[in-house]
Amino acid sequence: MKCMLIDDDVPTVQVLTDIIPWGEYGFSEVSRAHCVQDAQMLFAAGIPDLVLCDIEMPRGSGIEMIQWVREQGYDCAFIFFTCHESFDFASTAISYNADSYLLKPLNQAKLEAAVSKAVGGLKWRRQLGEYQKFGMAWLKNKGLVETSFWTDILMATISPRLDLIQGEIHKRALTIETEQSYVLLLVSVFLSEIDQRWNESTFRYAFANLSSEIILLRLHYDRVVSYQKNNMLYVAVVLDERNGDQALLEERGKRLIQLMNEYLKCVGTCYISEPEHIEGLAQVKAELERMDSSNVMFRGKVHWQNAVFPHERRERFDLDTQRYTSLFVEREKAQIVNRLKKDLEQLVAKNQLDAEMLHVIREDFLQVVYAILAKHNVQAHQLFIDSLAQQLYLKSEHSIFDFMKWAYLITERTIETIKETQRSEGIADKARRYIHENYSKDLNREDVAASVFLTPDYLAKVFKQETGRTMKEYLNDYRIEAAKHMLIDSRLSIGQIAMETGYENISYFSTVFKKLAGETPNAFRSRHRHVQKKG
């Protein structure tokens, strides 16, 4: 620590320097000043921890010194001494948090006692300041700690035993009651329904914020848990039972769904549990998730845990695959879509459509589509591999609207592709164009077939019928013709030309070239350059 002695009387400063064993009190440096101005300049070189200062000095008083120190925000201990006892001086010094006020002549014992007291007070204040920092940090992070606790409760990371839960509450220094009951409100959104303009992490943040603001009436993250499960994004809000008024929660749930549709551009569905003790909340969450997974017809609404979706006893339903197959053969796109819509509407009218039933219908419909495509040698996985088809497929179990969007796309592509396959000339032209655009790559007939969604064997048959050559023969012919132009018009080496035309092996390139051109690449280049020079 550092100490500063301030007095206009030089001998007094020297005496103070000598009579106090500064090292015993933890001081490693003692500086001296003889006026307020000098002392202020010394502060710039290093702030002292303790200042011993005369009050009455000709070029500024000790009171002015402590006032300046406090205005600068310096946390120094102060001991004042003076020749004249004055209540005004003493009271002013105390108002600026001076530690001691001594009268001259100075008594060593009293002076050391004052120094000891000042050092002790200084250490206490600084320790208290550290505690305050820790306290502020705790208050700042308390919400995160509590959010982590509720996340562990809902995910069953903490075993659902009351004694273990109480132990975690104590370990994390939380004030959470375990004797009362809680209400869990769960809001769900399909990941595939999130508008593509949203960054997913930003959407999750906005979703959690909106849920907290509407359900809790404030941004209070310690009771809000956001998580993803399969193709769903959930926000769970934990409420005290006393805040679980049914009418009020239902009203807030409806308001949240409305605002999600308006601002987040998605359909939210809300589930509210019955009151449950803290050790049962993980099981409650699982039950609400099961409700959500089976909910097809009643999305975008508020549902209570004890409510039962009004499904009638489900009758056996089999998609008329034979009729759909006939419609595909007849290329009746409108009839296919309308019939499928009618089948779903009939199930809805009977309250018999749920997620399981919609899944079965989708798979039966796909079976019809795949059988038709296989009959026409079309590779279905290539036809539906793009992101749009994949996205619609994932959303097709969410609702009837999404199912019909997916079914329309599948029907449209299937029938249009079948039409293309029945126009052999069109297929061969597409294959030739693909070869022209990609001949420089490592190309095979599987690649060409995939570009027109056909099986390699079927495309090979159609291609040979149309061109009189196999795809390999056509590819080699096209490559060698391209190589001829490069040999005549460019200065590329034979090896470079081989690479540019799709041949990684120069020896194989030379063999194919000689077979088709009747001479080696070098001979071909020499002959044509000789002709050009002669001309």
pLDDT digits (tens, 9 = 90+) for 341-357: 998 888 887 777 877 88
pLDDT on residue 92: 74
pLDDT (average), residues 45-66? 88
Strand spans (E) along 195-335:
224-229, 232-240, 269-272, 276-277, 302-304
Q: Hey, is 329 helix, strand or coil?
A: helix
Q: Which helix (H) or strand (E) holds 353?
A: none
Task: Please give the radius of gyration of the chain, using alpha carbons only, rounded to the nearest integer.
Answer: 43
Sign of CA dihedral 250, 251, 256, 259: positive
Of 87-101, 255-269, 311-325, the range with the highest mean pLDDT is 255-269
pLDDT on residue 141: 64
* Mean pLDDT over the full length of the chain: 86
User: What tokens were used for 3?
Assistant: 């100490």
Residues 6 or more apart in contact with residue 423 via CB below 8 angstroms: none
Q: Taking CA 190 as the corner, what is the angle to CA 149 and CA 286, rounded to the nearest 5 degrees?
A: 45
pLDDT on residue 108: 87
pLDDT (average), residues 183-200? 87
Domain spans, the chain = 2-127, 180-304, 321-419, 424-534
Q: For 521, what's the count of Cα atoms within 13 Å in the CB-facing half-sphere?
A: 27
DSSP letter (8 states) at residue 378: B
Q: Which residues pair with 226 in a beta bridge?
A: 235
What is the per-residue burial (b if ≥16 Cβ within 10 Å, else e) of 31-53? bbbbbbeebbebbeeeebbbbbb
pLDDT on residue 83: 77
Percent of the chain with pLDDT over 90: 41
Q: 284 falls in which pLDDT band (50, 70, 90)?
A: very high
Q: Which of 96, 286, 99 is nearest to 186 (CA)?
A: 286
Distances (CA, A) of 62 to 94, 96, 429: 12, 11, 101
Q: 31 falls in which pLDDT band (50, 70, 90)?
A: very high
User: What residue type is 77 in one-letter code?
Assistant: A
Is pLDDT larger for residue 350 or for residue 168? 168
Of 2-6, 77-81, 463-467, the range with the highest mean pLDDT is 2-6
pLDDT on residue 523: 92
pLDDT (average), residues 158-169? 92
pLDDT (average), residues 298-317? 75
Q: Is the pLDDT of residue 237 over 70?
A: yes
Chain segment 473-515, per-residue pLDDT in tens: 999 999 999 999 999 989 899 999 999 999 989 999 999 999 9
Q: Is the pLDDT of residue 219 over 80?
A: no
3-state helix, strand, coil in the chain (%, to 5): 60, 10, 25
Helical axes 424-438 vs 471-489, angle rounded to 10°: 40
Separation CA 469–CA 475 (nearest Å)? 10
Separation CA 344–CA 358 (nearest Å)? 8
Written in H, E and C, the secondary structure of 427-490 is HHHHHHHHHHHHCCCCCCHHHHHHHCCECHHHHHHHHHHHHCCCHHHHHHHHHHHHHHHHHHHC
pLDDT on residue 531: 62
Q: Which of 31, 34, 88, 94 is nearest to 58 (CA)?
A: 34
Q: 150 falls in which pLDDT band (50, 70, 90)?
A: very high
Q: Which CATH architecture has domain 180-304?
A: 2-Layer Sandwich (3.30)
Start-to-end Cα distance in the chain = 100
pLDDT on residue 9: 87
- CATH of segment(s) 424-534: 1.10.10.60
Q: Which helix (H) or strand (E) holds 527?
A: helix 521-534
Predicted model pTM? 0.49
Separation CA 187–CA 236 (nearest Å)? 6
pLDDT on residue 533: 59
pLDDT on residue 302: 94
Q: 271 falls in which pLDDT band (50, 70, 90)?
A: very high
Q: 88 falls in which pLDDT band (50, 70, 90)?
A: low
Report yes or no: 435 and 474 within 8 Å, Cβ to Cβ: yes
- CATH of segment(s) 2-127: 3.40.50.2300
Q: Which of 404, 160, 196 is nearest to 282 (CA)?
A: 160
What is the per-residue burial (b if ≥16 Cβ within 10 Å, else e) of 243-280? ebeeeebeebbeebbeebeeebebbbbbbbbbbbbbbb
Separation CA 309–CA 287 (nearest Å)? 14
pLDDT on residue 472: 93
Strand spans (E) along 250-365:
269-272, 276-277, 302-304
Separation CA 511–CA 494 (nearest Å)? 13
Q: Which residues pair with 423 in a beta bridge?
A: none
Region for 217 from its dihedrals, namely left if φ exceeds 0, alpha if ψ lies in -120 to 50, beta otherwise: left
